[in-house]
Structures are given as structure tokens and as C-alpha cells.
């Protein structure tokens, strides 16, 4: 490993580690966090002649996918910037597609959480069947969320409603959604509305709602990046013969 390659890896690891701590604490990462390592990555790879147009374009696909989800308000902007940093630092897909491996590995933990959600949901299948959505569909709730008591949800951090209670004919009905908004002010208004219904005894503290956690995805990118670096090239030869 050359000094340049080592410098790139250290820069990315340090940045992802710092961003992970911020993500765990507040689920927010300031944009300036990504700037030093990104500039260093561009400088080193330009001087080393590593920016092959075709490989760079192919290496950018994971970042573009995450960007599309961010535009749709399904992921945060920091998620895109994290993958973009990995792309700028590792602009080649041969002999090892670091950007693809980082994204794939980072998705394994959320995939496991989907299975855990399903197990929790099946334990409350009766409540799921009785749930009526006046807006949206409840189909994905079993996979993307889990049932929780209203009182427990109101005490939680970084947890968001997938079944939003709304007033209809003097009682509470639910609007169902598959994800939460990145607008924290909007989510706080939803929680305030829920508290108001609780105060008016329209809902009870032990009533069930479906919730989903705001995952610290940057932490998963850090894990994915480390796993990508640790993946032996010989293993990739069996999976992708052309590598």
C-alpha cells in the first residue's frame, strides 16, 4: 500500500468516525465535516492520475442512488455526502469496487432490522388487521415499522410515527406512511398533535401506534467501509471473475 493510498484511507476513516459520533448524538452531520477529506481525496487522485472517466462514472453509481433517495426525502443529505467521499477517495472499481461494497455492507444491518420488525409485527397481527388507514397503505408497516405504546413513543428519541393519528368524527383515525420526513419541525408537530390527543383522552397511553427508528446510517457506512477494505480481492475473483 502506497503512502497516498494510506492517507486516503485514514482521511475517510477519520471523517466517517467523526460523522458517526455526530449521527449517533443528534442524527445530524454538518456539511463542512466532509470538506477536508473530500478535497484531499480529489487532490491525491488527480496528482496520481486515478480519475479514469469510465471507472469514475461506474464508481459513482452508489452515490447517485443515495442522492436519488435523498431528493425523495427518504434519506438525509449526509448519507449522500458520505458515499460521495468514498467515491472521491476510491474512484476505481477494479480491482476492488470499494463504493459498491461499502453501500452493500451498510445495508445489511437495516435488512436485519426489517426481519426483526416483521417478527414484532406478527406478534401484533390482530392489531395490524384491525388498523384502518384513511390515507396511505398499511402494507409496508410489518416490514418498516413496529407497534409501540403511545406513552412509550412519546418518551423515545429518534423514533417516528408511521401511523399518524388524525381527528375524524370525534375519534382518532390514522394516516399511514412508509417513511418519516427529514423536516424535524414537521415531525415535532406530529408528536405535539399526538400529545394533544392524549390530553383530550382521544387516545390512551397504552394504545398502539406503528413507529420506525431514525437509523444512524453514517455508522453503517463506516462499518461498510471497513468491511469493504477488509474484503480480500481473492474472494472477489470468485464472485466477479473479471476483477
pLDDT in tens, 159-195: 999 999 887 666 678 899 988 887 788 888 989 988 9
What lies within 8 Å, CB to CB, of 31 at 6+ separation is: 77, 78, 81
pLDDT in tens, 2-55: 899 999 999 999 999 999 999 999 888 999 999 999 999 999 999 999 999 999
Measure the CA–CA gap between 238 and 227, rounded to whole angstroms.
Answer: 17
Instruction: State residue 162 phi and psi, 5-degree precision.
Output: -105, -20
What lies within 8 Å, CB to CB, of 167 at 6+ separation is: 173, 197, 202
Q: Which of 207, 86, 105 is nearest to 154 (CA)?
A: 207
Inform me whether the pLDDT recorded for 61 exceeds 70. Answer: yes
pLDDT in tens, 187-240: 889 899 889 888 888 889 999 999 999 899 999 999 999 999 999 877 666 555
Q: How is the chain split into domains, by residue range? A: 3-109+216-239, 112-213
The strand pairing partners of 210, in sequence order, are 147
Measure the CA–CA gap between 25 and 11, rounded to whole angstroms.
Answer: 22
H or E element that contains 145: none
Q: Following DSSP, what letter does each residue of 160-194 receive, concatenated?
A: EESEEEEEETTEEEEEE-SS--S-HHHHHHHHHHH
Is there a contact between 88 and 98 (Cβ–Cβ < 8 Å)? no
pLDDT at res. 239: 57
pLDDT at res. 115: 92
Measure the CA–CA gap between 170 and 29, rounded to whole angstroms.
Answer: 41
Is there a contact between 94 and 243 (Cβ–Cβ < 8 Å)? yes
C-alpha cell at 37: 477529506
Inform me whether the pLDDT recorded for 74 exceeds 80. Answer: no
pLDDT at res. 72: 81
pLDDT in tens, 79-96: 999 999 999 999 998 888
pLDDT in tens, 136-150: 888 889 898 999 999
Strands 171-176 and 163-168 turn out to be antiparallel
Measure the CA–CA gap between 232 and 40, rounded to whole angstroms.
Answer: 26
Instruction: State residue 224 phi and psi, 5-degree precision.
Output: -65, -40
Inform me whether the pLDDT recorded for 104 exceeds 90. Answer: yes
pLDDT at res. 243: 47
Measure the CA–CA gap between 75 and 68, rounded to whole angstroms.
Answer: 9
Measure the CA–CA gap between 129 and 121, rounded to whole angstroms.
Answer: 11
Amino acid at each position: 500500500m502506497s503512502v497516498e493510498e494510506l492517507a486516503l484511507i485514514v482521511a475517510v476513516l477519520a471523517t466517517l468516525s467523526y460523522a458517526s459520533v455526530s449521527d449517533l448524538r443528534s442524527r445530524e452531520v454538518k456539511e463542512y465535516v466532509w470538506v477536508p477529506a473530500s478535497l484531499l481525496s480529489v487532490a491525491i487522485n488527480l496528482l496520481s492520475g486515478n480519475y479514469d472517466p469510465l471507472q469514475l462514472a461506474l464508481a459513482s453509481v452508489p452515490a447517485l442512488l443515495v442522492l436519488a433517495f435523498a431528493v425523495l426525502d427518504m434519506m438525509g443529505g449526509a448519507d449522500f455526502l458520505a458515499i460521495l467521499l468514498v467515491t472521491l477517495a476510491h474512484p476505481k472499481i477494479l480491482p476492488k469496487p470499494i463504493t459498491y461494497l461499502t453501500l452493500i455492507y451498510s445495508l445489511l444491518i437495516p435488512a436485519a432490522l426489517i426481519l426483526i420488525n416483521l417478527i414484532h409485527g406478527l406478534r401484533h397481527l390482530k392489531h395490524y388487521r384491525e388498523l384502518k388507514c384513511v390515507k396511505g397503505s398499511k402494507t409496508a408497516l410489518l416490514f418498516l415499522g413496529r407497534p409501540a405504546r403511545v406513552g412509550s413513543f412519546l418518551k423515545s428519541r429518534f423514533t417516528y410515527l408511521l401511523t399518524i393519528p388524525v381527528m375524524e368524527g370525534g375519534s382518532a383515525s390514522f394516516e399511514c406512511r412508509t417513511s418519516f420526513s427529514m423536516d424535524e419541525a414537521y415531525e415535532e408537530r406530529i408528536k405535539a398533535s399526538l400529545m394533544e390527543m392524549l390530553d383530550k383522552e382521544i387516545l390512551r397511553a397504552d394504545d398502539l401506534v406503528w413507529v420506525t427508528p431514525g437509523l444512524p446510517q453514517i455508522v453503517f457506512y463506516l462499518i461498510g467501509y471497513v468491511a469493504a477494505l477488509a474484503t480480500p480481492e481473492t474472494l472477489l475473483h470468485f464472485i466477479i471473475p473479471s476483477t
